[in-house]
A and B are shown apart, each in its own frame.
Chain A
């Protein structure tokens, strides 16, 4: 049973489209995160939520909107996709807010914008 699962694992879409990536964790964790890994493999935090409350919102274009319907889910919606959005997006969760370093990561979603 996968601890942190993301869907889809691969996503190819055209510029200008809107897409969502879903994330679910079955660990009972309080905190969830979205990270972006660019083409040079650089990993950067985008958002974190704690008990459905937005905690970290890095300098991400507002075309990116996270949504946490409940503690176990954190979805990422992206509007008006651009070529530069092509990357691997990782969802992660940790038991508490202060345990970002011990988070469990999902398998990642490779987004390709053409």
Chain B
């Protein structure tokens, strides 16, 4: 079985500042993928960033980057230069050979102007 844990239900960041969202996971597989999804109030699920477990290098997509600590089974998302449009619910997710995407409970991020 695979599990994804997001222990912080909500966070707040000042516009233009940096925020880090935490995620831990557990899986028995050696080959797996990790993701962060954004869900704004529109409900649309938007893929923010992905990380292959076999890659040591942390993934980066513009202002979004991850800190992938494989031994610690930790996968945090860093948002730099936060913008008002970043306000949303963020989900950490994991998939492996079973092709089943398992989500964490999500974290609500608010951005203060």
Report which A residues bind B (CB closer than 8 A): 31, 33, 40-45, 48, 55-56, 88, 90, 92, 97-98, 100-103, 105, 107-108, 110
Contact = CB atoms under 8 A, between A and B. Distances in A.
Given A90-B45, A108-B43, A98 B99 contact: yes
Contacts of B99: 31, 48, 55-56, 97-98, 100
B44 A42 contact: no
Interface size band for B = 20 to 34
Interface in B95-113: 95, 97-103, 105-106
B46 to A, nearest CB: 8
A88 B103 contact: no
Across the A-B interface, the 10 shortest Cβ-Cβ residue pairs = A105-B45, A100-B101, A43-B103, A101-B35, A108-B43, A101-B95, A100-B95, A100-B99, A101-B33, A97-B99
A41 B44 CA distance: 13
- Prevailing SS type, chain A contact patch: strand
Contact of A45 (B33, B47, B100): B100
Contacts, number: 52
A98 B101 CA distance: 10
11 contacts: A41-B89, A42-B105, A43-B103, A48-B99, A56-B98, A88-B43, A90-B45, A100-B95, A100-B101, A101-B34, A107-B43
Nearest to A41: B106
B44 to A, nearest CB: 6
A43 B50 CA distance: 18
Interface string B4-45: 000000000000000000000000000001110001001111
B75 interface: no
Contacts of B91: 43
A101 B43 contact: no
A42 B6 CA distance: 11
A56 B98 CA distance: 9
